[in-house]
Amino acid sequence: MSDQDAIFEERRGAMTGLAYRMLGSRADAEDVVQDAWIRWRGVKPGEVSNPAGFLNKVVTRLCLDRLKSARARREVYVGEWLPEPVVDEDHPDLGEDLTVAFLLALERLTPLERAAFLLHDVFDAPFADVAKTLGRTETACRQLAARAREHVKAGKPRYHPSAEEEQRLTGAFLTAAMTGDESLLRGILAKDVVMHSDGGGIAKATMNPVFGLEKAVRLVLGIKKKWPAPEGTEARLARINGAPGLVLSHDGVVFQTMALEIADGRIAAVYTMRNPEKLARLNS
Question: How do residues 216-236 score in pLDDT, each as one tens digit?
Answer: 999 999 998 888 888 899 999
**To 10 degrees, what angle do helices 3-23 and 51-75 make?**
30
Q: Work out the number of other CB atoms within 10 angstroms of the CB of residue 125.
A: 23
d(CA 64, CA 189): 38
Share of the chain above pLDDT 90, in %: 73
**pLDDT band with cut points at 50, 70 and 90 for residue 92:** low
**pLDDT band with cut points at 50, 70 and 90 for residue 96:** low
- In the prediction, which pLDDT does 226 show? 84
d(CA 63, CA 202): 26
Q: Which amino acid is at 63?
A: C
Identify whether the C-beta of residue 134 lies closer than 8 Å to the C-beta of residue 142. Answer: no
Q: Which amino acid is at 62?
A: L
Identify whether the C-beta of residue 255 lies closer than 8 Å to the C-beta of residue 248. Answer: yes
Could you tell me the residue ranges of all domains in the chain?
A: 3-155, 163-283
> Taking CA 271 as the corner, what is the angle to CA 153 and CA 67, rounded to the nearest 5 degrees?
65
Residues linked to residue 80 through DSSP beta bridges, in sequence order: none
Phi first, then psi: what are they for 178, rounded to 5°? -80, -30
Across 191-220, average pLDDT: 96
Across 254-283, average pLDDT: 95
Q: Which fold has domain 163-283?
A: Nuclear Transport Factor 2; Chain: A, (3.10.450)
CATH architecture of 3-155: Up-down Bundle (1.20)
